Structure 1
Amino acid sequence: MVSFKANRSDPELVVPALPTPRETKTLSDVDTQPALRFYATGVEFFSRRPTIDGDDDHAQPEDAAKAVKAALAKALVYFYPVAGLQHLVPSKTLTLPTPWPLTDHDMVGEYFFFGPREIASLRSHARLHHGSSSSTVFELITAAMWKCRTVALGHAPDQRASLLITMNARGRWKCDPPLPQGFYGNGFVYLVVETMASELCSSSSLGHAVELVQKAKLDMTEEFTKSMVDLIALHGGPPYVPGWTFVVSDITRIGVDALDFGWAQRVGGGVPMVGDVKSKQVSYQMRCANVNGEDCVVASMFLPEPAMDTFAKEIFALSSEIDK
């Protein structure tokens, strides 16, 4: 394991490099959801490129931190609403959802890696017991973690186990009205999946869970997308029970792996287990590479410590090789 030392300094406010319009912009109904009112923190790692004579694009700055701050200040000139002040409009004041019934100190966060071997094992388990058809990596990992989390939390057999998936709607929203050019607000909707805990916790249930995830994705039509946006506008978010519902967000394709400063290229990073407790209710799936350079997915999980121990045993059993 690679270790390193980091010096943490006091936070600094970065403002736009040039004057920006003084105006009021209203957030969309999707952006004003109470469940989104938290700071999503992240840590990114970059590797310096070797300096090449005559190559100004890769010229090393004297102070990397100052260079990044200056670049952010320039970007905020164009994306100035991000640098603005936010306040609640009285008519938009909503009740925040109830967080986990446990305190932050009762919880632990872990990352779980899924490389080619682990994915192949999940696929074998799904096919062995349920004859599942082809499935994506996201479907396999989501189904496996949902199943193992339900087992770890000790759901009663007659209790409903819920899964909520945040799905990108940008590529699907091509009809009327289209998202405006340059729109950089949230463009996602929710898929809600439910089944009985008894059906999800059985030894042969992985294939069933995969099929439930697949069916939910197929139900995401243009009509469904508009209906979900209307639901969010009326109720401030999707119907789910915070802490018990398994919430998944796939950020493997948001493009962070293509971040490049010219003089430094991104080599890793993502959403760590820090920040507001509400952000920890979401299991993020992120891209990474293992020691062999193979593409992998790393998925976060946040659970009470005893449940985490059980979850780890369950997920390792599913992602281990089985006899063909």
Structure 2
Amino acid sequence: MAVNNTPLTFTVRRRSPELIAPAKPTPRELKPLSDIDDQEGLRFHIPEIQFYRHDPKLKNRDPASVIREALANVLVFYYPFAGRLREGPARKLMVDCSGEGVVFIEAEADVTLKEFGDALYPPFPCLEELIYDVPGSGGVLDSPLLLIQVTRLLCGGFIFGLRLNHTMSDAPGLVQFMTALGEMAQGASKPSTMPVWQRDLLFARNPPHITCTHHEYDEVEDTKGTIIPLDDMAHRSFFFGPAEMLALRKFVPSYLKKCSTFEVLTACLWRCRTIALQPDPEEEMRIICIVNARAKFNPPLPVGYYGNGFAFPVAISTAKDLSTKPLSHALELVMKAKNDVNEEYMRSVVDLMVTKGRPHFTAVRSYLVSDVTRAGFELVDFGWGKPAYGGPAKGGVGPIPSLASFYIPFTNHKGESGIVVPICLPTALMETFVNELNNMLAQENKSQVLQEHSSHVLSRL
């Protein structure tokens, strides 16, 4: 586990933002989003960031110029990204494929990649300078759908920052677009995977009928003031490698041995976080698991589909049960929530959206986790090789970082592959969370291993 305490500051000089339109004429049409895409919980912009090392063989190639040109070319194929969202009757979102373009910013920073430290993971210093919020660009309707900033570094490396209107794509869809951008930056004439729109595959049935239980969209009142305050927050990132996962699996009973790494880790974090928050014992606590449902359909959603294709299944337990029962209690609930997602579940979610006005998932007493370890951000190559880091720019999902965490692939300085999980909690509660987590990881030999986890495992990254 580790904490990023680097007090790094630097100056970024930006050129004036420009709009990059498709390099060739594209169809002018109105394309409705799916009924998964336009739910309230996805109506925000999500940031992503890639760090690239200097390549001396490419010293005469400017990454900003290369990516700017490739962007215009890839938008010929992904032309909806160059449009603007409009809202129709019943809050239905659609893309006006106007070809107005995406925001592009060329910048340079007086810092080297090495100064960011050996271990790159959120939170990143001066992030607002690396993905600049151009005034007027951050709205959901009538605003650019993509913003890209390429920042050259003193060492010859560069940072690729991106901000996406989440209604357009999820992580697999965004990686597909970025991969295509990288291919065209390296001279390809078209993407190796052609984009597929077909948002009608996730339109509501006629007539819509909700056939499954969807507690993720329950209307829950925050009657006891349990929404986490946003002031004085602590951000820490925790590494879970082979040793940590082996320690956690010691809590898994034999009848649950087939559980995944995601499920064990999620159950552990849900439990430790609940103990740290100290809610009323009878309060219902929620864990929301992002589940990629592309392969749940028969046939699966087509290769090249770049819309949102996931569900928000939720597990619910009282704080008392989470805190006092064995980890298997939380683990069984997480496994069941994930396993509930099938094609009928997705059809039911779609029908719920149009029936109930596209509601937001329930945030009260909720914690959301999103696993991007297999999304492929760390493989995106613009010609300078794979990134030193590629993935979420922030630890949390959405506008309230304390409510959510990403699971990010990471290899530490020992060459151990694992998962980094950024956690955001009120400073006063973070130490309780850390202590509870350390107690679980050190359960086997508290006298020796607990000390190890308290001191040097905090630098295992």
TM-score (normalizing by structure 1): 0.84
Displacement of 1:305 after TM fit?
2.0
Partner of 2:239: 113
Letter matched to residue 42 of structure 2:
L
Displacement of 1:292 after TM fit?
1.3
Displacement of 1:313 after TM fit?
1.8
* Kept in 1: contact 2:286–2:314 (CA 8 A): yes
Displacement of 1:88 after TM fit?
2.2
Partner of 2:371: 250
TM-score (normalizing by structure 2): 0.60
Q: Measured at CA, do residues 296 and 181 of structure 1 come closer, stay the same or move farther in structure 2, by a change above 3 Å?
A: closer
SS at match of 1:78: coil
Post-superposition Cα deviations, 1:89-119, rounded to whole Å, max 9, x if no partner, equal 242179xx99994554343332211111111
Paired with 2:358 and 2:439, the residues of 1 have a C-alpha distance of 35
* Kept in 2: contact 1:162–1:192 (CA 8 A): yes
Partner of 1:82: 81
Partner of 2:309: 187
Deviates more, 1:19-28 or 1:60-69: 60-69
Post-superposition Cα deviations, 1:155-182, rounded to whole Å, max 9, x if no partner, equal 222111111111001111224xx53553
Q: 2:408 aligns with which of 274, 281, 286?
A: 286
Letter matched to residue 114 of structure 1:
F
Q: Quick check: 1:35 aligned with 2:41?
A: yes
* Kept in 2: contact 1:60–1:263 (CA 8 A): no
* Kept in 1: contact 2:295–2:301 (CA 8 A): no
Displacement of 1:39 after TM fit?
1.5
Deviates more, 1:73-82 or 1:140-149: 73-82
Q: Quick check: 1:214 aligned with 2:335?
A: yes
Partner of 1:305: 427
* Kept in 2: contact 1:146–1:163 (CA 8 A): yes
Paired with 2:383 and 2:367, the residues of 1 have a C-alpha distance of 39
Q: Measured at CA, do residues 93 and 25 of structure 1 come closer, stay the same or move farther in structure 2, by a change above 3 Å?
A: closer
Paired with 2:358 and 2:442, the residues of 1 have a C-alpha distance of 37
SS at match of 2:237: strand
Partner of 2:12: 8
Paired with 2:353 and 2:392, the residues of 1 have a C-alpha distance of 25
Displacement of 1:291 after TM fit?
0.7
* Kept in 2: contact 1:161–1:196 (CA 8 A): yes
Displacement of 1:61 after TM fit?
4.5
Post-superposition Cα deviations, 1:36-83, rounded to whole Å, max 9, x if no partner, equal 1222112211224452xxxxxxx5553122222322232222111122
Percent identity of equivalent pairs: 35
Q: Measured at CA, do residues 126 and 114 of structure 1 come closer, stay the same or move farther in structure 2, by a change above 3 Å?
A: same
1:256-275 paired onto structure 2 within 5 Å:
256-273=377-394
Larger relative contact order (Cα-Cα within 8 Å, sequence gap ≥ 6):
1
* Kept in 2: contact 1:48–1:265 (CA 8 A): no
Q: Measured at CA, do residues 310 and 119 of structure 1 come closer, stay the same or move farther in structure 2, by a change above 3 Å?
A: same
Q: Quick check: 1:320 aligned with 2:442?
A: yes
Q: Measured at CA, do residues 126 and 187 of structure 1 come closer, stay the same or move farther in structure 2, by a change above 3 Å?
A: same
SS at match of 2:421: strand
The total of aligned residue pairs comes to 310
Paired with 1:190 and 1:272, the residues of 2 have a C-alpha distance of 21
Letter matched to residue 280 of structure 2:
A
Cα-Cα RMSD: 3.0
SS at match of 2:234: strand
